[in-house]
Amino acid sequence: MTEKGNILLVGVGGQGIILASKILSKGLLDAGYDVKMSEVHGMAQRGGSVTTQVRYGEKVYSPIIGKGQADIIVAFEKMEAMRWIDYLKPNGKLVINDYEIPSVPILVGKDEYPKDIIKELEHKLDVIKLKAAEVAKEIGNIKTQNIVMLGCLVEALGLNEIDWEQKIKELVKGKYVDINIKAFNKGKQLAR
């Protein structure tokens, strides 16, 4: 069991980062950890950045993770990984979704989406790369890519003693529970 941790989840509005963070926080809280979570989603509904910070341990006094303090960053979108990578500890781990959501300047042709983001990050970091969107599509609903990412995160942190399926049942609407549990377990498999 990990004694404490700082987890930063980053992505774009609409990717389900808040739900994944709530499931993560609920699981850690029910396992007996003190948990603090904060979220920032300014222009999230218009494709802007969304971040959540989850800190857990015996006693946590602040939800804020400073630069160089995250044990793990979970990037739901590639460019968001680059934007937040300074928050990762030198020996930290990056879980990255090989998925692009072009920003407005890219969509209108004023900028280009950066090339080789994952390759560049793999040169200097411990990276778990997955194609969560493709996995979610194969499962039957692309909206479950957030839960694929959550499963990968849980496995990467070794938080297997928590009944995550129960937490999904508690926080996901009933008709979507089964597909989200499937997505979660697929994410765990991909992290091994």
- Letter for the amino acid at 174? G
Mean pLDDT along residues 10-25? 94
How far apart are alpha carbons 75 and 66 in whole angstroms? Answer: 17
The pLDDT score that the predictor gives to residue 1 is 39
Helix, strand, or coil (residue 63)? coil
Is pTM beyond 0.85? Reply is yes
Q: For domain 4-190, which CATH number applies: 3.40.50.2300, 3.40.920.10, 3.40.50.720, 1.20.810.10?
A: 3.40.920.10
- Letter for the amino acid at 125? L
Give the start-to-end residue ranges of the domains of the chain. Answer: 4-190
Mean pLDDT along residues 105-119? 92
Helix, strand, or coil (residue 30)? helix
- Letter for the amino acid at 31? A
Which pLDDT tens digit goes with each residue over 30-53? 999 999 999 887 665 666 889 999
Which pLDDT tens digit goes with each residue over 57-79? 999 999 999 999 999 999 999 99
Q: Which residues contact 159 (CB under 8 A, 6 or more apart)?
A: 1, 2, 27, 28, 31
β 88-97/70-75 pair status:
parallel
The pLDDT score that the predictor gives to residue 2 is 43
Mean pLDDT along residues 3-28? 93
Whether the predicted pLDDT of 181 surpasses 70: yes
Whether the predicted pLDDT of 16 surpasses 60: yes
**DSSP states along 65-79:** --TT-EEEEEESSHH
**Contact yes or no for 142/133 (Cβ under 8 A):** yes
Whether the predicted pLDDT of 15 surpasses 80: yes
The pLDDT score that the predictor gives to residue 104 is 83
Distances (CA, A) of 3 to 35, 58, 154, 187: 12, 7, 14, 23
Q: Which residues contact 174 (CB under 8 A, 6 or more apart)?
A: none
pLDDT band at 123 (very low <50, low <70, confident <90, very high): very high
The pLDDT score that the predictor gives to residue 46 is 62
**Contact yes or no for 153/184 (Cβ under 8 A):** no
The pLDDT score that the predictor gives to residue 192 is 84
Mean pLDDT along residues 117-133? 95
